[in-house]
Structure 1
């Protein structure tokens, strides 16, 4: 089972820079161990306000209890609050991993689907089939990386695009676009991301 974890760190007053550096060093080393064990899959940095220290992490665990054991083992947990989002397989998730493009920016999208009242079922089926075809094409083009269903209803997507304008164009091209409320989050590379660090 996969989980998206929002990890927010707040260092207490009085902690020295050298203490912070020491804990961060141990965190980076332990992240490599978790990645080697297949428990930490990805790390990203979302847009941050001044003074914020926040990371998105994609983890693999058999259940919430095992995930908590993993999160508790991370050195930064002493100063950190974790918000856990369980993820479920999505039928349109690419069947094989989409290679990362080093020159592109990754984005999370959160899709909330609202079907207009009175829409004929045939039209719903037609748009859903078109959406499946479109996502397969976008995965083949290297734009769609992953899709998950969230337990609370929305769909979570991971994409890569060369610019915000391209990302907007991609989202507008989706057959369900007119029925989707979409939140788009640009991501930046985390120095301990397993996809960008050597084993």
Structure 2
């Protein structure tokens, strides 16, 4: 299973700077180990306010207990609280083994809540869902759509997208057949230094000799 984890770290007041440096170095090293094991899939930083220290991570685990074992093993856990969201499979998900972020692109997590009008007939709903699936396939092939998951709760889904900016992402989302039935919440993401995809991105963008 896959899980989205929002990790919020609060360093106790008065902690020596060297202690912070040391534990962050241990965290980075352990994260590399977890990535090599296939447990940490991606890491990002969401928008941060003054003094905030948060990371969003995509993890793989057999079950909640297995995930907790992974999270508890991370050195920063002594100063950190974790908010876990279980991610379910989505029929339109392009899959785990997708191309990493393209050079110059930006990534976004987008939460979709589908509210089907009471006046919509079953045939109309079926047609719109089929059109949405076809459009998702096009966007996956073209690059903007990286992943899709089902979230807990009726009609809630989560997508990982890439675009040249918020304006382009808005145009893409408005092109979805279900756009008129969707409530959308977008979180812009910035690279995390320990993101397992950073090595793949560097390899993909490295000029040939």
* Interval of TM-score (by shorter of Structure 1 and Structure 2): over 0.9
Match of 1:188 in 2: 190
**Aligned position for 1:63:** 63
- 2:206 corresponds to: none
Q: Which residue in 1 is equivalent to 2:110?
A: 109
Deviation at 1:152? 2.7
Distance 1:43 1:54 in 2: 11
Alignment RMSD (CA, Å): 1.3
Contact kept in structure 1, 2:100 and 2:197, CA below 8 Å: no
Unaligned runs of 5+ in 1: none
Question: Gaps (5+ residues) in structure 2?
Answer: 204-209
Distance in 2 (CA, whole Å) between partners of 1:122 and 1:161 is: 33
In structure 1, what is the Cα distance between the partners aligned to 2:6 and 2:74?
14
Matches within 5 A, 1:98-177: 98-153=99-154, 154-177=156-179
Deviation digits for residues 51-103 of structure 1 (CA, Å, limit 9, x no counterpart)? 11000000000000000000000000000000000001100001451342021
Report if aligned partners of 2:5, 2:85 keep a CA contact under 8 Å in 1. yes
Runs of 4+ in 1 over 6 A off after TM superposition: none
Task: Report the alpha carbon displacement of residue 18 of structure 1 after superposing the two structures with TM.
Answer: 1.1
- Residues 122-155 of structure 1: CA deviation (Å, up to 9, x unaligned): 1111110010000000000010000000123410
User: Hey, what's the Cα distance between the residues in 2 that align with 1:167 and 1:36?
Assistant: 31
Q: Equivalents in 1 of 2:196, 2:87: separation in Å? A: 19
Does the CA contact (< 8 Å) of 1:9 and 1:76 recur in 2? yes
Distance 2:7 2:110 in 1: 18
Counterpart Cα distance in 1 of 2:3 and 2:153: 13
Encode CA deviations 1:21-76: one digit per residue, 9 max, x unaligned.
10000000000000000000000000011111000000000000000000000000
Partners of 2:153 and 2:11 lie apart in 1 by 31
TM-score computed with the length of structure 2 as normaliser: 0.93
TM-score by length of 1: 0.97
